[in-house]
Amino acid sequence: MGAVGEASDHLFRSPSTLDAHVPQHNLEWQATVIDFLGSSDLANDKNPRDTIPELQSQSKTSNPKTSDQASRVSPFRKWVAPKKSTAISEQPVAEPTPQADESRKPTEKVALRIRSSRRLPQRTPPQTRKKDSQPLPAKTQNKKQESPSEVAATIPSPTKKKVEPAPSPDDVDLEPLTNNQKNLRKKVRRVLTHYYNRPLNTRDRSPWEVMHGILAYEVHSKVLQGGPQGDPITAVGWLCFNQSCKRRSLMYVNDEGKLRVRVGPALQGHRGQLLAMLAQASVNRDYPMRVDEQDYVIADLIRMEMETCYPRTELTFKLIGLMHYLNSDTTWVNDQGMQWDIPRLISEEIRQPIRGAACGGTHRLSGLTLAYKTREKRGEPIDGEYLKAKKFVSRYQQYAYRLQNGDGSLSTEWFRGPGNEESIDRKLKTTGHILEWLLYAANEKQLHHWRTVKAVNYLANIMHNNRYKNWESGPLGHAIHALLLYNRLVFEPHDPPNTPTLAAKLRRSSEASMRR
């Protein structure tokens, strides 16, 4: 979609009551979707279906529907946020020509930027390969087995001691909210408050479900230990300390002493998914982890995901996690001796299809979006693979809005074409996922556009009207996170000075109620 110009006004005509332009400068957020001020060159684009290769051969008939798949005062010691990381290198990346890029085929030997003039390491057989220069800690022997309650007592909070407040209205030039915007703010916050007070529990919910619980309220998410009546505890800490969820643990240490994350039903649905969830929740890279009585930090999980990047595989969630935690110019070698960097991850992802990908392709689009958005936030040039990602995403933005239904919901057929099924479960799933990605990609004007507002309003309505429904945890987590993002980006700048974020206030309120 890009910046909305005159040529696309036929698509985006907003009622005056919903067209308030609210600048948001110098905002400080905990989430990864900071700096939604990007723009694109698609104002004069033709129908996006003509610009998206996948959709050119699409038949007029829709494909058949496919099956996609809190807390009293913490007794745990507080986690102190680490020092700021070093500045990101701004080494420019050579921009490939469109012709050369289109003709490039997957290969194990690719031209990559390297910090020094050293030669690329040669691929060696597994039998003769040397051990990792920075091996994970060896497995601890004869260590006393700790009970779940003893482990829980050592889990630190992932939140910072000082909650970052919303910016003061005196610091930014804000236009007042319209009455419609105030009503929508009230509705969105009412929904977020309700679902925060209905946390998942570790007896009945799997690791996959708890991961989506983490995404919902980010570092402020909580779970109930052992059942619906259990004590609340940080959801981030529970998973990072590898505690049982529905009698299953997510991580393990292999025979070589290396950290690994299980993939399969009720576990990770995709490789790199845990790291991607932690990245979207803005968990610090040195937050502790404990697996099989061994101590790690998130940085160990990052290294494991770097070592297991392979060509022609799904790299969606690895891209989300690694782009968040690594410098843009980081290069590394995987466990098969192949050279990798962020641009190669982007290139591999762009070559893979959107239709048929996880959750209709919204996660792949989110990974590409967060890649160039993070680079924009760091003040680095949008060129090469980053520019390709931005243009690729912009075409799908426009197409997603063209498929929007009259009630504000987004297509129940994902990106296959128009779709307006009656099932509210299906609508929550598709609208929640697509809206979350659209908010990642939106610039400031798009955040306030009537099409975005209508989608937010629809999602808030069905979540409120069906607030006691037992929703599927995955779609619900993405829907909650979409509303959390919109509240943060549009409404929180209008809160009084030094006001904590909504999620932080919900956590504090929950802690206070537990003390009474």
The range of the structural domain enclosing residue 209 comes to 6-55+75-80+145-515
Q: Is residue 48 part of a domain?
A: yes
Q: Quick one: what percent of the chain has pLDDT higher than 90? A: 61
**What's the distance, CA 159 to chain centroid?**
18
Residue 65 CB: number of other CB atoms within 10 A?
13
Residue 125 in any domain: the answer is no
Cβ–Cβ < 8 Å for 329, 88: yes
User: What are the φ/ψ torsions at residue 359 (nearest 5 degrees)?
Assistant: 50, 50
> What string of DSSP letters covers 28-42?
--SSS--------S-
Could you tell me if residue 16 is inside a domain?
A: yes
Kindly state whether residue 12 falls inside one of the protein's structural domains.
yes
Query: Cα separation of 181 and 186, whole Å?
Result: 9
- Domains identified in the chain, total number: 1
Q: Supply the mean pLDDT for the chain.
A: 77
Instruction: Give the E-state strand segments of 141-182 in sequence order.
Output: none
CATH number at residue 418: 1.50.10
Q: How far does Cα 455 stand from its chain's mean position?
A: 19
What is the average pLDDT across 284-301? 96
For the chain, first and last CA: distance in Å?
50
Q: Is residue 130 part of a domain?
A: no
Q: Are the C-beta atoms of residues 161 and 81 closer than 8 Å to each other? A: yes
- Count other Cβ atoms within 10 Å, centred on residue 69: 12
Which helix (H) or strand (E) covers residue 515, if one does? helix 502-515
Closest by Cα among 479, 494, 488, 482 to 506: 488
| 119 domain-assigned | no
Q: What is the pLDDT of residues 327-356, one digit of tens each?
A: 999 999 999 999 999 999 999 999 999 998
**DSSP secondary structure, 253-275, as one string:** E-TTS-EEE-BSTTSBSSTTHHH
pLDDT tens for 381-397 read: 999 999 999 999 999 99
- The mean pLDDT of 81-87, rounded to a whole number, is 39
Is 121 a member of any domain?
no
For 422-448, how does the pLDDT look when each residue is reduced to its tens digit (9 = 90+)? 999 999 999 999 999 999 999 999 999
94 part of a folded domain:
no
Rounded mean pLDDT of 42-53? 43
* Nearest in space to 225 (alpha carbons), one of 209, 203, 208: 203
Q: Which pLDDT band holds residue 41 (cuts at 50, 70, 90)?
A: very low
Give yes or no for residue 318 having a pLDDT over 90. yes
Instruction: Give pLDDT tens digits for 254-269.
Output: 999 899 999 999 999 9
Is 70 exceeded by the pLDDT of residue 150? no
